[in-house]
Amino acid sequence: MWFVAVHIGAGNHESTNAAVDEANTCMRVALEAAARVLSAGGDAVSACEEAVVVLEDAECTNAGCNGPQVNLTTDGRVETDASVMSGSSNAIGCCGAVEGVRNPITLAVHLLRSQERRPQDRQPPLFLVGHGALAEAKDANLSTINYDDEPIHPRALIKHQDNATRYLLDTVGAICIDSAGHAAAAVSSAGIALKRPGRVGHAGCPRMGCCASNGSSTSAAYAFSCTGRGEHLVQGALLQHLERQVASMSAKAQVNDVINH
């Protein structure tokens, strides 16, 4: 038995029938991508990665390196954040303010896998930002994008130039539990509209955008992937609050407690 859930973020999404259909299709394709991994015996981290790659590539989400809905920085550039956590190893991989990595979640997973390998020489980083993150992606032969060859999507530029805030979109994410009972969670985002260059939101911060645990004899297993204004989520330590509560109340009570407080 396995489990997968995805989201395409809080925000004011378009409500036309076509937009709703596009969003539903995007999430269904992401679920199917993760399901293929899990049904074949793959691990939860890999399933999360496959789901989030689909969400990053979708045209209706504010995630990934390009697309009509991505939010740009004040100087009109695409900077992305992503993170992933394994509930079985407690390993984490995060990247922030990344420009030029086609699928930021793949870089986050690469950093997580480097942590799990536990090399005996140099300590691998779990969190990279900016130029260092892009350099690591290139060294790992991950797919990158050159905006001189693939310009920023014209609709994203128009939205930026108009300072458009009619449709405010946020983080995408996934949580999975594989057939071995291992949990994982992942998030990815292009951040808030008109953010300052170098800004890293909750999606790129360790245990702030997502967290997961297989549980123990005294605590329940869990996987969280959250969406909202990053500064508020980090300042309020939302996921840390949930982690503290997870062993002492039901899942429904946990959610209600967070919403009410």
Residues recognised as catalytic: 171
The DSSP-derived string for 155-183 is HHHHHHHTT--SS-B--EEEEEE-TTS-E
Rounded to whole angstroms, the Cα distance separating 251 from 140 reads 38
Q: The tokens 């995408």 sit on which residue?
A: 172
Question: Does residue 160 sit in helix, strand or coil?
Answer: helix
Q: Which amino acid is at 147?
A: Y
Q: The tokens 């950093």 sit on which residue?
A: 111
DSSP 94: E
Task: Let me know if 93 is exposed, middle or buried by CB neighbors in 10 A (0-12, 13-18, 19+).
Answer: buried
DSSP-derived pairing of the beta strands 127-129 and 172-177: unpaired
Rounded to whole angstroms, the Cα distance separating 27 from 46 reads 17
Rounded to whole angstroms, the Cα distance separating 253 from 258 reads 9
Q: Determine the Cα angle at 161 with ends 158 and 165, to 5°.
A: 85
Rounded to whole angstroms, the Cα distance separating 23 from 38 reads 23
Q: Determine the Cα angle at 251 with ends 169 and 220, to 5°.
A: 115
Q: Is-contact 104 98, C-beta < 8 A?
A: yes
**Among candidate residues 227, 87, 5, 258, the one with its CA nearest the CA of residue 249:** 258
